[in-house]
Every structure is written in C-alpha cells, then in structure tokens.
Structure 1
Amino acid sequence: MAVKELEKERAPQPAGFGVLGWARWFWRTLTSMKTALILLFLFALASVPGSLVPQRGVEPDKVARLFQQNPTLAQWYDRFQLFDVFTSVWFAAIYLLLFTSLIGCVVPRAATYLRELRRRPPAAPRNLSRLPHHAALTADLTVEEAARRLRARRFRVDTGDGWVAAEKGYLRETGNLLFHVSLLGLLVAVGIGSLFGYRGNVLVVEGDGFANTVANYDRFIPGREVSAESLEPFSFDLKDFKASYQVQGDKKGQELDYSAYLRVNDTPTAPARDYELKVNEPLEIDGTQTYLIGHGYAPVFKVTDGQGQVAFEGPVPCLVEHKPTLTSGCVVKAPDARPSQLGFLLRFLPTSVPLTDGTYASAFPGELQPEVQVLAAFTGDFGVRSGRPQSVYELAPTDLMKKLKPLVMGTSVPKPLAVGGSLDLPDGAGRLEFTGVKEWITLQIAYDPGRMPALIFAGLATVSIALSLMIRRRRVWVRIGDGGAVEVGGLTRTEGSAAGFAEEFDDIVKVLTAGDKDDR
C-alpha cells in the first residue's frame, strides 16, 4: 500500500496553463465571432446613454440646468462620465476591444476566403444517391456539354473522368467578409474623426457674432491631432432669430419652426453672404458644419450702482426652466458696482399673466407680454475675482454676500418689471432696469473628416449583409456512365435553404437533359 502511495507521489503532475497558454486563450476568445458580436452589442448599448442623457458637447445648457435642478443625480452622472459618453474611458475601452476583435476575425477569414477562391470544386462523390438532392436519368450528354451548360448558369466548374463538379454562391461569403470589413472601416472612420476632427459649442445673442477661433468657444473638444491653426477661418453675425409656435388647440405653444438669419464670411477676405440656418440644415464651410441646436431669451438689463455709475449693461442669456412656455431663470452680476458688488436672481416670462394667487406665470413661449420677476437681490463680494471658475448661470453663495430685504412688500409679490421698468434697491444701493429683449441660439460646430468614409462603409455594410442573407452556397455533381446513364446530385451548404434549392435543382436537371435549342 505504501509502495503505491509512493509511486503516486512520484508520478509526473500535469503542467500549469502558463502565461503563454492564458495569452493564447485570451486571444482566441477575443477574436472569436461570438465575442465580436457581444462587443458589437455592448457598443450599441453603450451609445444609449448618449441619447438619453444630455451631452456637454451638444446640450450644455441642459447639463447646467440638471446640475441646478438635481445636483445629486448630476454628480453621479458626472462620476460615470454620462455627460461625455462618447469620450468616456469605458466607451473607448469597448471601442478598442471591438476594433481588435474585428481585426482578429477578419484577417484569418480573409486568408481562408482567398484560399477558397483558388480551390477547384471537389470531385464528384462515388454515390450521388446519398446526397439530399438526387436524380437518375438517361440522356445523350457528354462531360463537356454538361460543363458548358452549368457554366451558362454561372457555376464554377471542374471536370474529370466521367464527372462534372460545379459550385455556386461564393458571394455569400464575400458579403459576410465585406460586412466585417465594413464594420472595421466604420471604426477606423470614427477613429479618424476623433484624431483629426473637433467639435464645440457656442451661445450667440442677437446682434453679436462668432469667429471660428478656439477662444470664442464656450466648450471646445479637439482631436489629438488638431491645433488652433486647423480651424477654418470663417465668421458670421447673428442678425435675427425667428420662431413660430402653435397658437391654438391642445398643442398650443408647441414649436413649429425656428430659423437663425446669419451674415457669413467664408474667409476673412471673402464677401459676406446671407444664410438662413435651420434645424437639420447646417451651414457647411469646407467640411466644417454649424448646427442650430437650441434657443432661448436674453433680456437686456442696466444696473446702476450706489454712486450713480452704470456697472453693467447688456443682454443676459437665461436658462430655460419650463420648455412649453420658455420660462427662464436669469442671473445678473455687476462685479464693478460701487461701493459693493450687486447680483440679481430673476425669472423671465415671455408672455406674463397674473394668477389667482397673486403670482405671475408665462402662458405662451412667444414674446407677447415680456416681463421679469425679481426673485432676490444681493450685495457684497461674489467671489468673481477670486480666481475660482464660476458659471454665468448661477450666483454662487459666499459668506460675504448679503440679501437685500425690501423686495417683497408686505405679503404680496411685487409686480414683474415690464420693458422699460426699473427697481430701486434699498439704502441707495443701486437700480435695476429692464430695457429690452433679445434672443440667443446655441450652435454646435463640428469638423469630422471621417464622416464621409463612415457613410460609405455603412452603405457597404448594408449591401454586404443583404448578400450574405440572400445568397445560398450550393454544389452540383454530374456523373455520366455508359449507355447514356446520367446521375445528378446536389446539396446546399447554407443552413435552412434546402427547400429553396429543391426548385433550382429541378431546373438544373431540366437544363442538363434538354437539347441545345431548349438550353438556349
């Protein structure tokens, strides 16, 4: 017993998998068709948050509003990079894994396909009656004639001693391979766009302009190979903005259409031209596209400080708080006011109407009765010169700020300011005047050199997947014996297409047994 145990201990143990073994296993798993399909599904699934969650590169105003309305949720979104889905680390990881997997799939399959193209159809089996499709008949047919008639039906043909082999349907594998190559091409096109393209967002108020330089963007996302000199030197002025809304019915207030009227200079020396910018109709200049993605109101204010000097004057873009009525929140900062800085929290009502409880609301998104509610006024140090970045859409609280009190008289809310109205602050701190209304637009400006290649590869993928689904791979053999005995056998190499091949096989038999006149 002890001897057996000793021999068992001395017996050679199986070697471990090892680093090289694990590397081979990982590569085979990554480059398998199953993994490629899983990664393709994950790639599509990972794009879903980019449609559901507002993206900083497309809708920065909605991102800012979400931080105001639900800061906890917005912080979690930001931690998981859901505001920048397509530039996130996890999206890039899926992209690179899919890219590697497709290369590992396509290269071996391409080599196999090339070998298949050079290979002749296999010789006829000895017993054709065992094939799924079989016919035995008597006909005056030679090997050369059978080969000619099968070639006329676009079969690849090989002949031997008393037999003919024919094969058809190589375009199925061609379509399958092209589909994977197209997916790879799409990923390459996206990569080219990420390296050599750029996109950015800018907010422009009526009467102002924009020049395509990095400094003028509110948010600029360049590719790794993009420099400031890469940008097309165009510019434009926003002359006017027009929006139309549904005025009756259940959908009253719904946007019907809106347009921005621009005065465009394609280059610094080019003559100016007029252009009407509409949704889904971008301005394109040498491959750089400018999209109209949003709009809102920018009421014009004038702030006079306690020393009688104008501390601020101009339009203030307001964030939309209620889309159906375009009720908007505004922040006015006057850091140059003396003896103390002034700040205001306001609400803009495009069509102001009084409610039964004494408050006011907007009844329509159009500018019919524009008024401004003064929600709060502050004086003190707002920290705008502290060096810390601040949003223009919020008034960050500090210990040196003081809220001014007599904005609410008794228990009633003061009437909103109409255009031309003003509000005097207590203790001679200053005055706020509402002098007019302008509108703003948000634009996305993008240059993507991979856009056209991506379109081509997407079209190629559609055509190639149709080829792989519609075409059947099939083989036919003919044996010609003595005395005019002819055997025909056939099979399909495509799963689930045997029923469709039965009719084609009958036609092939008819062609082989028909005379020259019928064949023609």
Structure 2
Amino acid sequence: MSKSEERRPGELTARELARWAWRQVTSMRTALMLLLLLALAAIPGSVIPQEDVDSLAVTRWKSEHPKLTPYYEKLDLFGVYSSPWFSAIYLLLVISLVGCIVPRLLVYYRAMRAQPPAAPRHLTRLPVHTTYLTEASADDVLGRARTLLGKRHRVRPAAEGDDYVAAERGYLREAGNLVFHLSLLIVLAGVGMGGLWGYQGGVILVEGTTFSNNLTQYDDFKPGSLFRQDQMKNFRFSVDKFSVDWLKSGPRAGQAREFQAALTYHVDDGPAKKYDLRVNHPLEIDGTDVFLIGHGYAPVITVRDGEGNVAYTGPTVFLPQDASFLSYGVIKAPTAKPGQIGLDGLFYPTFEMIDGNPVTVFGDDLLPTLSMLAWTGDLGLDTGASQSVYVLDKSKATQVKKKDGKPFRVDLQVGDTVKLPDGLGTVTFDRVDPWIRVQISQTPGKEIALGGVILALIGLCASLFLRPRRVWVRALPAPATTGAGPDDGDAEGTMNGTGGTLVEIAVLDRSGNGEMDEVLAALVQQLQEAAK
C-alpha cells in the first residue's frame, strides 16, 4: 500500500500543514486580531507603572502593594513592552503584516500600471450611458475623444480595428494603496531600529547639580538589544535653576501652569550653551533627546549623631504622592554613633491643619514642613546588599519613642532643629531645593518611522479622495434607418438615408460618488462642440 493510500481523509502532510499555518498567520483577519490583541496587551503598560518609564513610581507601587508585587513581577507587568509575551504578540503581528502586505504590494503595483480595459460589447447596458448621432466620421469622433480624454485620463493605446476609445482616471488610487501598505513596513522598520539600537534612561537632578552622559549617572537605564556603549554621545549639563509658574487664583488655583529648567550644557569639550528645558520642548544634543518629565522637592537636612558629628547632610529627594505634592522620603545616616539613624515620613510644601489633620493646601513651597518617624539600630546598611534609597529597612531596627512609649515624631519647618531622645543626636531642616526628573533617549529609527507615518497619511488620502473612473467612447457607422439611438431619446436628431456616425458613451464609477450623469453630460457637450 502506497503512502498516499495510507493517509486518512483530511490528514495533512508536514508541508501542507506548514502551508496552511502560513496562510492562517498571514491572513488579514489574523493581522486584525493580532492588532486588537496588541492593543489589549498594552493596557497594563498604561495603567501599571513601568520600570523603563518611571522606576520611582514602580518602587512606590511595590511598597504600597506588597502582596500583589510577586505576581506582577512573574507576569512582567512592570516591564510590559519588553516582556516575552508582549514581544511574541508583536513579532507575530510583524510576520502577519509582512506576509499579507508584500503580496498585495505586487497586486497594487500591477493594478497601478495596468492599461484601461477594453470597451464592453454593449455600452448601453451600463448604468450611466448615452448615444447620439453626428455627421462627423467615426475616425474624427474617436480622434477628438482621444484628445479630450488624454488631457486628464490615461488612454488605452489604439489597436488596429478598434472602434472605441478606453480611458481611465483615478488610477493613482492604487498608488495610494501601494504607498500606504508600504509605509506600514517602513514604520515597523523604524520602530524596530529604535528598539534594537536605541536606549532610554532616567535620572533625578537637584537644582545646582550636573549630569554627565555615562551609565553610572543614570538612576535607571534601558538599552536596546544591539546597543553599544560607544553610541552614547559625550555631553554634560547642569541644572542652573528650576521654576514653576503656579496659578494663584481661579478655579484651577494651586495647579502648575508652566515648568522650566534653565540648563547649561557642553558637547564634548565645546563651549557652554544655554537652554530652557520645558515640557514637550526637549533639548536635542547630537541625536540624543533630553525630556523634562517630572519635578518635586528635596529638603536639605542635616543629621548629627550623639557625639555631635555630622552623620548626614544634603538635599534628599522626596517623591510626590499626589497632585498637591505631598511627598514621601527616607533619610539614612549609617555612620551615626552610638547607632545608625533612619528617618522616614512626609513633606508638606504648604502645611496646614484642617479639622485636626495635617494637609498640604498648595503645591508651591509656601510653608514647607517635615513630619517623620525616627528609627535606630540595624538598618541593613552594613550588609553590602543593594538597597533602594527610597526604602527604609525596619526589620531589625528599633523605633525611637518618647518617654510615654509613643512614637517620637520629628516635626520641622525651615530653620528648626529637633533633638532626638536618648542622646541619639539632632535633626535640622536647612532649606528646600527643587529637583527635576529628565528622560534621556536615543532613537535611531525615529526619522524613518516619521517618514513612514507621513507616507501612510499621503497614501491614505490618495486612496480615500481619488475617485477612479472609466470612460468608453465607441463610434459606429449609423444604421440605414434614421432615428434616435437605441435605448436613448437624447439623440440630437435624425438623418435622412444612410451616413453619419452613431456615438455611444458610457461612464463607470468605481467609487460610488454618484456624479456620473454630470460627467457624462460634460463629455458629450465637449465632443459635440469640438465637432462644430
């Protein structure tokens, strides 16, 4: 028994199965389903904080949701766009689009170059048509028709024995389809280049500090798969001043209207240049973009230990918790004696007590106030393990308390100093410095992707607004009997005896715009006027 006889009905060979699978993957239905699936898969990335966008927000989210964090990490929900499952959907979509677009490119290319089709045998059976009689010869009628239609139409080359002229306009609509589908591949190529060779990083900079573009300076850094460190441009910039324009009155009082960071930057060893960094107005340095994406406050705090030595001093970044810029921060003094000192708590830009509760009523730092709890003992700072500067390890620490056993709270306003119990030291609130968060990115394929988007718009407009239309003009010797043309009462008159020419004209609209009667009437008028 042969192998073909051994196969059961409906059973596919490996080659047939592969061919069937390829047809399914590259079908337009599959491409649309994958596009919808990709949109759904992107929803967690817009709802859940992402490591490559705002690692500070991820840290804060993890501290607020400790039970959900392990599950989210297993599902890569903090890095949706770089997760294996999202990459698989994206890769399948690319394969599907390429598989269904490339064959269509050939179809559109052939359609764009195709000649107008020959005239149907019975033009009077088309929905929009007319006939009339003229004394001009058939050759003269066809010559005039070819001249008139050739001005705005593509005319089919004349062949020996043809008794008609075939013309078509709007064929560039197929070119629009071709450009639109080709642009999709260009956009995918541009996005792919950015993902492979580009990088994106973020850093928080306090006013007065300087950033140099090297890996050690970033708070978070996400390179592409083919990124090389030598791609990073040699530049540095300093944050000279950061200012916020707050609305003082009206229904939006308390909201920020404009942010601006005055920068001084150097490229290589070049001269210093100034730039005012604003939202949606990035600084571009040799293909690298610097964006302003956030800001906040960094209270300057000095901690002295029990021996009077400075154990910690400097601006401390506090992370905003809401739109009023109520912020959370952590202070760690690992060298303090007799024991390590840790502080964690809230910063109120404009402090006020309302109904016995501390609140901040304004985002501007009009009355900056700190309220923190103190800890001492082992804060996990001597183990050498990596520890976030925004998290205080209290597992082995002891909370500082008052004599009555209640937690000791460090409440400070600018210029205040609080003495810690049990000779642990003092805490001083010196001043408030603003900080900004900048995103620095290099996207090699962005110009290609932008060009693809522009081409897509051009192709889409062409395919939507260009109206394909076909016109046929046939000239035949008039029949021996005189009278109006068949199926039409619009003939201009009758002729006695034989001679003359019967002209049949038909217009076919391929876009359904419903204006063919006017087009037909205008063409008849032009032909008749040309015959005079």
TM surpasses 0.5: yes
- The answer to whether the 8 Å contact 2:468/2:509 transfers is yes
501, 512, 516: which one pairs with 2:527? 512
Match of 1:481, SS state, is strand
18-27 or 458-467: which moved more?
18-27
Match of 2:259, SS state, is strand
Distance in structure 1 (CA, Å) of the matches to 2:274 and 2:228: 29
- The answer to whether the 8 Å contact 2:350/2:367 transfers is yes
1:491 maps to which residue? 508
Uncovered stretches (5+) of structure 1, i.e. residues with no partner? 1-9
Distance in structure 2 (CA, Å) of the matches to 1:60 and 1:11: 61
Distance in structure 1 (CA, Å) of the matches to 2:74 and 2:263: 38
401, 405, 410: which one pairs with 1:405? 401
47-56 or 174-183: which moved more?
47-56
Note closer, same or farther for the CA distance 1:212–1:443 as it changes in structure 2 (3 Å cut): same
Distance in structure 2 (CA, Å) of the matches to 1:414 and 1:117: 78
Match of 1:515, SS state, is helix
Per-residue deviation, 1:439: 1.2
Distance in structure 2 (CA, Å) of the matches to 1:410 and 1:352: 27
1:462 maps to which residue? 457
- The answer to whether the 8 Å contact 2:165/2:474 transfers is yes
Distance in structure 2 (CA, Å) of the matches to 1:414 and 1:339: 20
Uncovered stretches (5+) of structure 2, i.e. residues with no partner? 479-500
39, 60, 67: which one pairs with 2:62? 67
Distance in structure 1 (CA, Å) of the matches to 2:196 and 2:516: 49
More helix by percentage? 1
Distance in structure 2 (CA, Å) of the matches to 1:49 and 1:156: 55
Matched, 1:238 2:239: yes
Per-residue CA distance 1:351-403 (angstroms, 9 max, x = gap): 1223442x5322211111112112x21111121232432211111232x2111
Distance in structure 1 (CA, Å) of the matches to 2:181 and 2:86: 20
130, 134, 138: which one pairs with 2:129? 134
- Corresponding letter in the other structure for 2:521: D
Distance in structure 2 (CA, Å) of the matches to 1:98 and 1:347: 46
2:349 maps to which residue? 350
Match of 1:397, SS state, is coil
- The answer to whether the 8 Å contact 2:236/2:267 transfers is yes
- The answer to whether the 8 Å contact 2:211/2:217 transfers is yes
Distance in structure 2 (CA, Å) of the matches to 1:251 and 1:413: 37
Matched, 1:305 2:320: no
- Corresponding letter in the other structure for 1:130: R
Note closer, same or farther for the CA distance 1:120–1:379 as it changes in structure 2 (3 Å cut): same
Per-residue CA distance 1:142-180 (angstroms, 9 max, x = gap): 233322222123233233421222222221111112111
Matched, 1:27 2:27: no
1:7 maps to which residue? none
Distance in structure 2 (CA, Å) of the matches to 1:121 and 1:428: 97
1:333 maps to which residue? 332
Note closer, same or farther for the CA distance 1:55–1:43 as it changes in structure 2 (3 Å cut): same
CA RMSD of aligned residues (A): 2.4
Note closer, same or farther for the CA distance 1:332–1:506 as it changes in structure 2 (3 Å cut): same
Which TM-score applies when normalising by structure 1?
A: 0.89
Matched, 1:500 2:515: yes
Q: Percent identity?
A: 41
Distance in structure 1 (CA, Å) of the matches to 2:299 and 2:370: 8
Match of 1:270, SS state, is coil
Match of 1:71, SS state, is coil
- The answer to whether the 8 Å contact 1:49/1:82 transfers is yes
Per-residue deviation, 1:116: 3.2
- Corresponding letter in the other structure for 2:351: S
- The answer to whether the 8 Å contact 1:479/1:487 transfers is yes
Distance in structure 2 (CA, Å) of the matches to 1:459 and 1:129: 43
Distance in structure 1 (CA, Å) of the matches to 2:155 and 2:89: 42
450-459 or 94-103: which moved more?
94-103
Matched, 1:394 2:409: no
- The 5 Å alignment of 1:96-107 reads 96-107=91-102
Note closer, same or farther for the CA distance 1:208–1:13 as it changes in structure 2 (3 Å cut): closer
Per-residue deviation, 1:89: 2.4
Matched, 1:423 2:422: no
Per-residue deviation, 1:505: 3.1
